[in-house]
Structure 1
Amino acid sequence: MTDPQNGSEQAAVRGLIQAVSDELGHDVAPEWQDAARSHPRHHFLPERIWLEADGAYSSIGLRDDPEAWFAAAYTDAPVITQINDGSEPDDPAEAWPSSSLSAPSVVFGMLGMLDLRDGMTVLEIGTASGYTAALLCHRLGNDRVVTVELDPVLAGRGEKNLQAAGCSPTVVCGDGLLGHAPAAPYDRVVSTCSVRRVPPEWISQTTPGGVILTPWDNPWICWGLLRLTVGEDGVAVGRFSPHSSFMLARTQRDDVQLFRDVVKDDHWADVSETVLPRRSVVRGDAAFAVGHRIGDIWHAWQDTPVDGVADRLWISSTDRASWAAVDHDGSDDDRFTVRQYGPRRLWDEIEAAYRWWLDHDRPGPERFGLTVTPEGHRAWLDTPTDWWPLPPFMREP
């Protein structure tokens, strides 16, 4: 007789595999289907999870609402497993996600991009719940997988989940941006957190011809996957693919507040006008191009900052030395007031980058690439020979 609970679990896994296949536009490879069936996703969820809707986060408990909790495990969507680095705020409005199970279509899409072969070794950055590590262990074997997690609580939880699933990879509690040299070199390095610069340790710990796959975060826009191949000379070259968004590696986070660190009362800005719609440079392919072209700017929106201004787009350089503000008065007039301060004219740079994007036939992320050398990061369009330097990543002035 079939166990009803086990039958429900198997049906849920089958439904998830089909949903992932539909999203990817092709069947999940047989080896990954087998891994998904062997390691049901709900086994890697904590008893309390959070779901996002319209920018707010609501919690679901296994004990309080087991049906909703189980359904979340088998929906092709991310599930938040930790908020605020494990320190829950008193005000729910101040909650922000700090760890999650990524959408299954993203997970299996990335696993496919790794192009794994029998006998390969993999370094995973970001153990979290242990789900991806379990899938990798099923495919390659326990002794072929090393996974690193910075958060001690998450590392312990992930290792416990892996042991319960019958998996025993090497689990390291430490800074994943440093890799794990004792087990290097690796044929593949895959990160489940985004980075703004590729750590040199990842490259030095990857065997020549090996692949590094990581989500990318730009201060201007935080999405894209970067797939690099490491050469014999230690230079890594590769291209982007679009639309995957991951949490930024904790050691690359900024702690910047606009009015504490950037804009001061004694700043006197130059005033001009623009007809370039502000929202066209902060979303979609244009935003990816602007961020990748300039590399060291970020933005924020402010509603009704002063009388007569409906909303304001703030822009700042990551070194906090220059800023710009672009205002709209709320009328139907498509003209915007621009204020710029500091040694750089940031809005002028954005307009130039936007014109460059138009002149190059509105390229999407898949036409962009990156070359990482010991001297720095070179961004390029279409071919590595047509490159420009990305400025050094800065967390502190």
Structure 2
Amino acid sequence: MTAGRFAEAGRARLASALIANGSLQPDWFAAYHAVPRHLFAPDTVWPGMADGVRQGEAVDRREDADGWWRAVYADVPLTTQWDDGAHLGNSRGVTPSSSSSMPTMVFSMLSALDVADGHRVLEIGTGTGWNAALLSHRLGSANVTTVEVDPSTAAEARARLARAGYAPAAVVGDGAAGHPAAAPFDRVIATCSVRQVPRAWIEQCRPGAVIVAPWGPEYGGEAVVRLTTRQDGTARGRFVHPSAFMRLRAQRSARPGSRAYLPAPWPADGVRSTTALSPDELGGWAAMFAIGVRVPGVFPLTERYGDGSYTLWLHDTAVTSWATADWEPGRVEFEVVQSGPRRLWDEVEAAWRWWDGRGRPGFERFELVVGVDGAQQVHLD
């Protein structure tokens, strides 16, 4: 099959899937067909799975054209950079640092953005440039500003945009700072996740503007929030659907390994206890979100063993406290060890029971409020 026929068949098949799952709405049909994803995919991509499965092996267009076309027109994210560009070649790096987002997520977020003719949009995270091109087709390039922190990624995206006939303002810089020179904006969309919505985004918006961004606490769990800015400088809005994005570089946090916390071999000075709550119950995306909202400054790590058992480690970002919970098949009670001024397992278990006692609410029942001082609060219902 020729490249043209691959593109035509792949785009039609993907469009059908996006329409069927409700992400591609009629007002984005024209942009979808005018801005093909393959024009914004590099020769080497690492296809991922939509449900959080790790990315697969590299697919190189020059070596496996059929596989590359299938990957580009699958409803999956495509990793396009590892380790902030330090890793080169077709092998996997350690940490994915740029991607072409899953098409379902792209069009779900564009739908939530709710743009109209004449709106000026700020995009945080240019990536491959596909999202900026879709916005440029819909609104005109003059109304789109896109910011990318990585110079090489930005240069490649700018070249792809130009070849496709679009010329949004493509800026190299820290997305957390927005782009005040082009403000005020009617819409802001982020293609990277945040723990704190930057004040600059709100300050560069008109009152009544909409900000769509993936938001997640330190603990884990993440969802796209749709905020509306207010005359008093605040913003608030509901979470609309779960997400999993790479973190805004300015908000990445160091996550020390367990040895940084232990003054001696485990269990060191830890206090032992048991719990009836299985560590397995803490692993769902919505559960992690609820725990993270109620237990700030804590993150989990999992140490797995060959027999299927594992240890859940809890660490605080201040490197003062830790806890472990051991899961083994068939157990109904689980050993817990805790150390430090914070009893992390107790905090996490209390947060989980709060969430469980309210019917295990999903993301859509939570609202984010951003104050004029930058303080951020998440409320249930």
Q: 1:390 maps to what in 2?
A: none
Q: Contact 1:309 / 1:327 at 8 angstroms: preserved in 2?
A: no
| Cα pair distance change 1:213/1:12, threshold 3 Å | same
Q: Distance in 2 between matches of 1:226 and 1:217?
A: 10
Is contact 2:221–2:292 with CA below 8 Å preserved after alignment?
A: no
Q: Which moved more, 1:149-158 or 1:295-304?
A: 295-304
The residue aligned with 2:377 is 378
Contact 2:7-2:69 within 8 A present in 1 as well: no
CA drift at 1:319: 1.6
**Which of 365, 368, 371 is residue 366 of structure 2 equivalent to?**
368
Instruction: State how 1:309-388 maps to structure 2 within 5 Å.
Output: 310-328=309-327, 330=328, 332-375=330-373, 376-382=375-381
Q: Partners of 1:169 and 1:76 in 2: how far apart?
A: 26
C-alpha deviation, 1:89, in angstroms: 6.8
User: Structure 1 residues 219 and 92, CA, compared in 2 at 3 Å: closer, same or farther?
Assistant: farther
User: 1:223: Cα distance to partner?
Assistant: 2.2
Per the TM alignment, residue 316 of structure 1 is displaced from its structure 2 partner at its CA by 1.1
**Structure 2 residue identity aligned to 1:218:** P
TM-score, length-normalised on structure 2? 0.93
CA distance in 2, matches of 1:64, 1:115: 40
Identity, % of aligned positions: 40
| Counterpart Cα distance in 2 of 1:66 and 1:365 | 39
State how far apart, in whole Å, the 1-side matches of 2:171 and 2:198 are.
Answer: 18
> Which is further off, 253-262 or 186-195?
253-262
Q: Is structure 2 residue 38 aligned with structure 1 residue 42?
A: yes
Instruction: State whether residues 369 and 380 of structure 1, in contact with CA within 8 Å, keep that contact through their aligned partners in structure 2.
Output: yes
Q: Which amino acid aligns with 1:372?
A: V
Compared with structure 1, are the counterparts of its residues 92 and 324 closer, same or farther at alpha carbon in structure 2 (3 Å cutoff)? farther
Q: CA RMSD, aligned part only? A: 2.2
Per the TM alignment, residue 369 of structure 1 is displaced from its structure 2 partner at its CA by: 1.1
> Which SS does the other structure have where 1:58 is aligned?
coil
Contact 2:222 2:285 in 1 (8 A): no
Structure 2 counterpart of 1:268, one-letter code: D
- Residue aligning to 2:82: 83
- CA apart distance, 1:227: 0.9
259-268 vs 145-154, which moves further = 259-268
Asked whether the 8 Å contact 1:220–1:282 carries over to 2, the reply is no
Distance in 2 (CA, whole Å) between partners of 1:29 and 1:310 is 45
Matched residue SS, 2:57: strand
Pairwise CA distance, 1:304: 4.2
Aligned length: 375
Deviations 1:344-369 (A, max 9, x none): 11111112112211222221111111
CA change 1:173–1:258 in 2 (3 A) is same
Structure 1's consecutive aligned runs of 4 or more residues displaced over 6 angstroms after TM superposition are none
Matches within 5 A, 1:193-232: 193-232=192-231
C-alpha separation between the residues in 2 aligned to 1:269 and 1:360?
32
Who is 1:69 aligned against? 68
Aligned residue in 2 for 1:110: 109
- Counterpart in the other structure of 1:386: none
In structure 2, the residue matched to 1:389 is none
Q: Distance in 2 between matches of 1:346 and 1:43?
A: 48
Shift of residue 291, structure 1, vs aligned partner: 1.5
SS at match of 2:356: helix
CA distance in 1 between counterparts of 2:354 and 2:62 reads 55
Give the drift of 1:334.
1.3
Aligned-partner Cα distance in 2 for 1:32–1:227 = 19
Q: CA deviation at 1:172?
A: 0.3
Which consecutive unaligned segments of at least 5 residues does structure 1 have?
A: 383-397
Alpha carbons of structure 1 residues 150 and 303: separation in structure 2 relative to 1, 3 Å: same
Say whether the 8 Å CA contact 2:215–2:223 is kept in structure 1.
yes
Unaligned runs of 5+ in 2: none
Alpha-carbon spacing, 1:90–1:161, altered in 2? closer, same or farther (3 Å): closer
Q: Which one-letter code corresponds to 2:297 in the other structure?
A: D
Name the aligned partner's letter for residue 28 of structure 2. Answer: W
Q: 1:23 aligns with which of 21, 24, 43?
A: 21
Tell me the TM-score normalized by structure 1.
0.89
